[in-house]
Amino acid sequence: MEQEEYTKEEIDWSYIEFIDNQDILDLIEKKPGGIIALLDEACMFPRSTHETFAEKLYQTYKDHKRFSKPKLSRTDFTVCHYAGDVTYQTEFFLDKNKDYVVPEHQATLIASKCHFVSGLFPPLPEDSSKQTKFSSIGARFKQQLQSLLETLNATEPHYVRCVKPNNLLKPEIFENQNVLQQLRCGGVLEAIRISCAGFPTRKPFDEFLSRFKVLAPEVLNGSIDEVAACQRLLEKSRLKGYQVGKTKVFLRAGQMAELDTRRNEVLGRSACIIQAKVRTFYARKKFVLLRVSAIRIQSVCRGQLERALYECMRREAASLRIQKEARKYNARRSYGLLCVSAVSIQAGLRGTAARKELQFRKRKNAAIIIQSDGRRYVKRRHYRKMKKAAVVLQCAWRAKLARRELRKLKMAAKEKGALQEAKSKLEKEVEELTQRLEVEKRMRGKLEEAKTQETMKLQSAVDEMSLQLQETKELLKKEREAARKGLESGSVIQEAQVIDQEMSGKLTAENEQLKVLVNSLEKKIDETEKKYEEASKLSEERLQQALDAEAKIIELKLNMQRLEEKLSDIEDQQILRQQALHLP
């Protein structure tokens, strides 16, 4: 199968010779002529025995190279296996092959509530239950082998071969020849030879890249072709003898282990870097935590020290106060003793003096009573005078406050009247200014109309004078032409001279009159232009005055609004003051 896969993948390889056991497998399990099939057939006949079964085997496989009959036995047969010749005895073949569990009994045991009993009899597959009720041990063993082969073909198994080191079954004894014979009979040496000659390790491109891309991550930079990426990866790994097929990478024995070793090294270095970073992070975190804890401990310790110092200072102050109170108490106590002593002495002395003065005091008490009555009378009179003076002062002070408030109210009233007068005055000024503005606007309109009319009149006069001047020029031109023609004719020379002198005199007089008229018209035009300029300047001044008047009107309106607000505030203040005065 491996060599078929090599051919399918189109890799460079040489054919490997190996021993094929297919003929032995066919001898044992092939239908309908295999040993197991003949055994089942013999079990189905009730009169069959192991002798008849052996005779049937001899007849069927008498020419088979892998099957032979022993010379000294009538019922035994020998099969030439890969490991060597094995002789089988058919005495109990039929009985052991028939030793099966009835399906009804097996179903009953499977339904047992005891897990151990139910686990001993696994359920049969559905296809076997649909067959005949006869089910031999060989057929079941064959089905189990078939399912095992299907499982192995669907997976990638790794075999562990168990080897017996010695026949004595004792530890620390290793028989080389026995172990070598076991490995040779088990096909391990042949498998190793085939594996070393071929490519025992094969991986699809995607799986190979996903597993070993850590060895050379740069092979995937900008590369989409998996074949080229695998080729570059193997070249960078410096392996020899590998093959790259259509869908897989084929490696020699040991190359996968070498790649895994390199991969583990890379992953180990990466893990070391990650561990270093993580340890750095945790160390820094621990350091920060320790620093914060140290700062907190220091703050707690300093607080404790400060509290202890404060407690010491408080106790010192308390002790000082206690000492002061104790000294005060001792001083008061000694003073009290002294007072008691002095009082006792004074009592003795005063007792004698008191007894002497008792009579004097009795006489004096009467005088004191009289004096007390007199003084009581004087004090009561003084108290009444003081009470009357306080009431008078209070009345005077309240009258003064009332007069002050009255003065403020009068001033507010006067201010209100003045504001109202100013308001009315401003309103009159606004009306006058608006009237003046309207008059100015009307006068300006009239001036503009008169100006336009006068300019039209002057323009018409100028046009007439220009027409008259043009007519006179044409007449002069015609007369000059007529005089020229008369001079040309000789008969009327003298008459023409006389006529020319007269005509020239008239024309010169008319020409001078026209010049005077033109000069007068030019003067009138200049005067009208000056009047027009003066009128325009006057109109501009009046327009500016009107604009100023409008601005003043706006300002006066704003002042009026402020005065009205001030008047309303004054009225509110007067109302509040009156309310305050009327309050009890």
DSSP string, 303-371: HHHHHHHHHHHHHHHHHHHHHHHHHHHHHHHHHHHHHHHHHHHHHHHHHHHHHHHHHHHHHHHHHHHHH
- The rounded radius of gyration (Å) of the Cα atoms in the chain is 75
What does the pLDDT read at residue 294? 94
> Rounded distance, CA 103 to CA 255, Å?
52
What does the pLDDT read at residue 505? 67
Q: What percent of the chain is helix, strand and coil (3-state, nearest 5)?
A: 75, 5, 20
Question: What is the arrangement of strands in the sheet containing 85-89, beginning at the earlier edge strand?
Answer: 67-68, 76-80, 85-89
Confidence check: pLDDT of 360 > 80? yes
Q: Give 119 or 394, the one with higher predicted confidence.
A: 394
Residue 99's CB: how many other CB atoms inside 10 A? 10
Among the residue ranges 83-87, 110-114, 128-132, 255-259, the one predicted with the least confidence is 128-132
Q: Give 351 or 242, the one with higher predicted confidence.
A: 351
What does the pLDDT read at residue 278? 94
- Give the pair of three-digit tokens for residue 59: 């007849």
Q: Give 178 or 319, the one with higher predicted confidence.
A: 319
What does the pLDDT read at residue 185? 77
> Rounded distance, CA 66 to CA 82, Å?
10
Q: Give 126 or 220, the one with higher predicted confidence.
A: 220
What does the pLDDT read at residue 320? 94
Among the residue ranges 8-17, 404-413, 478-487, the one predicted with the least confidence is 8-17
| C-beta of residue 83 within 8 angstroms of C-beta of residue 183 | no
Under the banding of pLDDT at 50, 70 and 90, the label for residue 582 is low
What pLDDT, in 10s, does the model give residues 40-60? 888 888 788 888 888 888 888
Under the banding of pLDDT at 50, 70 and 90, the label for residue 316 is very high
What does the pLDDT read at residue 494? 46
Confidence check: pLDDT of 401 > 80? yes
H-run or E-run covering 89: strand 85-89
CA distances from 391 to 4, 395, 411 (A): 139, 6, 30
Measured over the CA atoms of residue 344, residue 345, residue 351 and residue 354, the dihedral's sign is negative
Whether a cis peptide bond, with omega within 30° of 0, leads into 157 is no
DSSP string, 115-178: HHHHHHSPPPPHHHHHS-S---HHHHHHHHHHHHHHHHHHS-----------SS--TT---HHH
Kindly state the DSSP code that residue 198 receives in the 8-state scheme. S
* C-alpha atoms less than 13 angstroms from C-alpha of 571 in its C-beta half-sphere: 9
| C-beta of residue 185 within 8 angstroms of C-beta of residue 84 | yes
> Rounded distance, CA 524 to CA 531, Å?
10
Among the residue ranges 122-126, 272-276, 442-446, the one predicted with the least confidence is 122-126
Long-range contacts of 168-174 (CB under 8 A, 24+ apart): none
| C-beta of residue 377 within 8 angstroms of C-beta of residue 384 | no
What does the pLDDT read at residue 96? 83
CB-neighbour burial class of residue 58 (10 A; exposed 0-12, middle 13-18, buried 19+)? middle
Q: What backbone phi and psi angles, to 5 degrees, belong to 62?
A: -70, -25
What does the pLDDT read at residue 334? 92
What pLDDT, in 10s, does the model give residues 457-470? 767 766 776 677 67
Residue ranges of the alpha helices (H) in 239-254?
A: none
E strands in 170-305: 201-204, 243-244, 248-251
Q: Give 570 or 167, the one with higher predicted confidence.
A: 167
Q: What is 2-197's CATH number?
A: 1.20.58.530
> Rounded distance, CA 451 to CA 535, Å?
8
| Domain locations in the chain as residue ranges | 2-197, 415-582
What does the pLDDT read at residue 217? 72
What does the pLDDT read at residue 2? 61
Interhelix angle 35-44/22-29, rounded to 10 degrees, is 0
> Rounded distance, CA 356 to CA 310, Å?
66
Q: Give 210 or 369, the one with higher predicted confidence.
A: 369
What does the pLDDT read at residue 318? 93
What is the SS3 assignment for 375? helix
What is the residue-averaged pLDDT of the chain?
A: 78
> Rounded distance, CA 551 to CA 557, Å?
10
| C-beta of residue 106 within 8 angstroms of C-beta of residue 94 | no
What does the pLDDT read at residue 416? 66
Q: Which residues is 249 bridged to in the sheet? A: 203, 244
What pLDDT, in 10s, does the model give residues 482-495? 767 766 664 444 44
Confidence check: pLDDT of 584 > 60? no
* Share above pLDDT 90 across residues of the chain, in percent, rounded to a whole number: 12
- Alpha-carbon dihedral 351, 354, 355, 361, rounded to 10 degrees: -160
What does the pLDDT read at residue 126? 52
Going by DSSP bridges, is the β-strand pair 76-80/67-68 parallel, antiparallel, or unpaired?
antiparallel
What pLDDT, in 10s, does the model give residues 367-387? 889 888 888 889 988 998 898
Q: Which residues is 202 bridged to in the sheet? A: 250
H-run or E-run covering 85: strand 85-89
| C-beta of residue 90 within 8 angstroms of C-beta of residue 76 | yes
What pLDDT, in 10s, does the model give residues 65-101? 888 888 888 888 888 887 778 888 888 888 888 766 6
Identify the CA nearest to 234 among candidates 211, 212, 257, 267. Answer: 212
User: Cβ contacts of residue 70 below 8 Å, gap of 6+?
Assistant: 76, 77, 78, 87
What pLDDT, in 10s, does the model give residues 228-242? 777 777 777 777 766
What does the pLDDT read at residue 493? 42
- Give the pair of three-digit tokens for residue 425: 């005055």
- The one-letter code for the residue type at 281 is F
> Rounded distance, CA 434 to CA 579, Å?
43
Under the banding of pLDDT at 50, 70 and 90, the label for residue 261 is confident
What does the pLDDT read at residue 496? 42
